[in-house]
């Protein structure tokens, strides 16, 4: 297991992109990251004490998964991410598989990852990173929208994403040019949020030790 923190690995990923992509496109994404961090109203995003609605979402093989069934014994960890095309999401979910899931399994705490991409994309990221937890499709970002996590891509960002080959009309199950802000929630058996960490700057993510600390706090509450 790497001794580097998730933050370190995400920084390495960001730095590595400078060798793979035109500077003008990376500048568009960098400006987007700054804008989202500066303009997101955190009072409108999901908060500790809120309740996550009970929805049924398809997993990577199309099988329905009910959040109520997932969290029936509480607590549970819900990870909102952007999609298989996002390098930062791949790094984060792989870290959660390797560094979070073993402890969660020992505690009997489920973890599920949720994105707006269709099941094919979910299967891609699950296979690429050998994920053994459910990877679910939130079509149209319906659940993420109820939690205040959705943002629209500007015209400039849409053009830059198309230059990378990312057509969200095809990638996202709802065909929308919108994405969720990466977020980790810990919820109890009633789907009440006991921990919420929202990242408007999608190049940053919740550290594995933060998740485990939040789960331990929930299991001893």
89, 113, 123, 126: the active-site residue: 89
CA angle 123, 210, 7 (to 5 degrees): 70
Structural contact between residues 187 and 200, judged by C-beta atoms closer than 8 angstroms:
no
- Distance from C-alpha of 177 to C-alpha of 179, rounded to nearest angstrom: 7
In angstroms and rounded to an integer, the radius of gyration of the C-alpha atoms of the chain is 17
Is residue 89 part of the annotated active site? The answer reads yes
Determine contact, residues 213/109, Cβ cutoff 8 Å: no
Cβ-proximal residues to 43 (8 Å cutoff; 6+ apart), any chain = none
Catalytic machinery residues: 89
């Amino acid at each position: 297991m790497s001794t580097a923190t998730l933050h370190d690995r995400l920084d390495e990923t960001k730095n590595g992109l400078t060798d793979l992509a035109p500077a003008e496109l990376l500048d568009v994404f960098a400006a987007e990251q700054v804008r989202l961090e500066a303009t997101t109203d955190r009072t409108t995003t999901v908060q500790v004490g809120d309740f996550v609605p009970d929805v049924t979402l398809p997993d990577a093989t199309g099988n329905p998964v009910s959040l109520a069934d997932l969290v029936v014994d509480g607590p549970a960890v819900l990870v909102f991410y952007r999609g298989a095309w996002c390098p930062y999401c791949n790094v984060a979910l792989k870290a959660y598989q390797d560094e979070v899931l073993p402890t969660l399994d020992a505690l009997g705490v489920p973890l599920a990852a949720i994105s707006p991409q269709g099941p094919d994309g979910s299967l891609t990221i699950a296979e690429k990173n050998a994920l053994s937890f459910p990877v679910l499709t939130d079509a149209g970002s319906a659940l993420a929208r109820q939690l205040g996590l959705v943002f629209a891509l500007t015209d400039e960002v849409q053009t830059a994403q198309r230059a990378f080959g990312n057509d969200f009309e095809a990638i996202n199950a709802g065909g929308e040019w919108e994405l969720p802000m990466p977020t980790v929630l810990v919820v109890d058996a009633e789907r009440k949020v006991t921990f919420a960490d929202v990242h408007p700057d999608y190049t940053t993510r919740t550290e594995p030790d933060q998740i485990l600390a939040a789960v331990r706090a929930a299991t001893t509450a």
